Amino acid sequence: MNVRDSEHMIAELNTKEPYELTEELGDADLIIINTCSVREKPVSKLFSEIGVFNKYKKDSAKIGVAGCTASHLGKDIIKRAPAVDFVLGARNISKITKVIEEKHAVEIDINHDDSSYAFGEYRTNPFKSMVNISMGCDKSCTYCIVPATRGDEVSIPSDLIVGEIAKAVKTGAKEVMLLGQNVNNYGKHFTANDEKLNFTGLLQKISKIEGLERIRFTSPHPLHMDDEFLEEFANNPKICKQIHVPLQSGSTSLLKAMKRGYSKEWFLNRCEKIRRLCPQATISTDIIVGFPNESEEDFEDTMDVLEKVRFEQLFSFKYSPRPHTVAAEFEEQIPNEIAGARLTKLQVRHTEILDEVMNAQMGRVHKVYFDELKAGGKISGRSDDGKLFFVEGSEELLGEIVDVKVTKVSRGALEGVVCN
342 touches ligand SAH by CB under 6 A? no
Query: What does 319 bind: ligand SAH, ligand SF4, none (CB cut-off 5 to 8 Å by kind)?
Result: ligand SAH
In angstroms, what is the minimal distance from the CB of 144 to ligand SF4?
Answer: 3
Given the complex with ligand SAH, which of 246 and 416 has the nearer CB atom? Answer: 246
Nearest to 95 by CA among 123, 131, 134, 64: 64
Nearest alpha carbon to residue 289 among 231, 349, 239, 234: 349
Q: Tell me if 39 contacts ligand SAH by CB under 6 A.
A: yes
Q: Lay out the sheet containing 313-318: strands in order across.
A: 242-244, 282-289, 313-318
Distance between CA atoms of residues 234 and 239, nearest Å? 8
Query: Is 153 within 8 Å of 134 (Cβ atoms)?
Result: yes
Contacts with ligand SF4 by CB under 6 A lie at 137, 139, 141, 144, 146-147, 181-182, 221
- Give least dist CB 97 to ligand SF4, A: 28
- 113-152 positions binding ligand SAH, by CB under 6 A: 143-144, 146
Least CB distance to ligand SAH at residue 380 (A): 25
Number of residues that bind ligand SAH (CB under 6 A): 17
122 binds, among ligand SF4, ligand SAH, none (CB under 5 to 8 A by kind): none
CA–CA separation, 195 and 183 (whole Å): 16
**Is residue 322 a contact point for ligand SAH (CB under 6 A)?**
yes
Of residues 219-248, those binding ligand SAH (CB under 6 A): 219, 221, 246, 248
Q: Of ligand SF4, ligand SAH, none, which one does residue 320 interact with (CB within 5 to 8 Å by kind)?
A: ligand SAH
Q: How far is the CB of 171 from ligand SAH (least distance, A)?
A: 29
Instruction: Please check whether residue 268 is in contact with residue 305, taking contact to mean a CB–CB distance below 8 angstroms.
Output: yes
Q: Minimum CB separation from ligand SAH for residue 323, in Å?
A: 10
Q: Looking at 261-364, list the stretches that DSSP marks H as alpha helix, in order from N- to C-terminal side.
A: 264-277, 296-309, 336-359
Residue 382 binds ligand SAH (CB under 6 A): no
Nearer to ligand SF4, 251 or 383 (CB): 251
Contact call for residue 213 and ligand SAH (CB under 6 A) = no
Those residues with Cβ within 8 angstroms of residue 391's Cβ, 6 or more apart along the chain or in another chain: 368, 370, 378, 379, 380, 381, 397, 404, 415, 416, 417, 418
Contact flag: residue 35 with ligand SAH (CB under 6 A):
no
Cβ-contact 290, 320 below 8 angstroms: no
Measured distance CA(84)–CA(386) in Å, rounded: 39
Taking the least distance from each CB to ligand SAH, the nearer of 144 and 309 is: 144
Q: What is the closest distance, in whole angstroms, from the C-beta atom of residue 130 to ligand SAH in the complex?
A: 16
The answer to whether residue 288 forms part of the interface with ligand SAH (CB under 6 A) is yes
- CB neighbours (10 Å) of residue 256? 14
Q: Which of 367, 402, 394 is nearest to 242 (CA)?
A: 367
Asked if residue 38 binds ligand SAH (CB under 6 A), the reply is yes
Task: Compute CA 261 distance to the chain's CA centroid, rounded to the nearest angstrom.
Answer: 21
Contact 287, 249 (CB under 8 A): yes
Rounded to the nearest 10 degrees, the angle between the axes of helix 264-277 and helix 227-235 is 30
- Closest distance to ligand SAH from the beta carbon of 394 (Å): 37
Q: Which span sits near ligand SAH by CB under 6 A: 27-35, 100-108, 314-322, 351-359?
A: 314-322
Binding residues for ligand SAH, rule: CB under 6 A, are 38-39, 143-144, 146, 181-182, 219, 221, 246, 248, 286, 288, 317, 319-320, 322
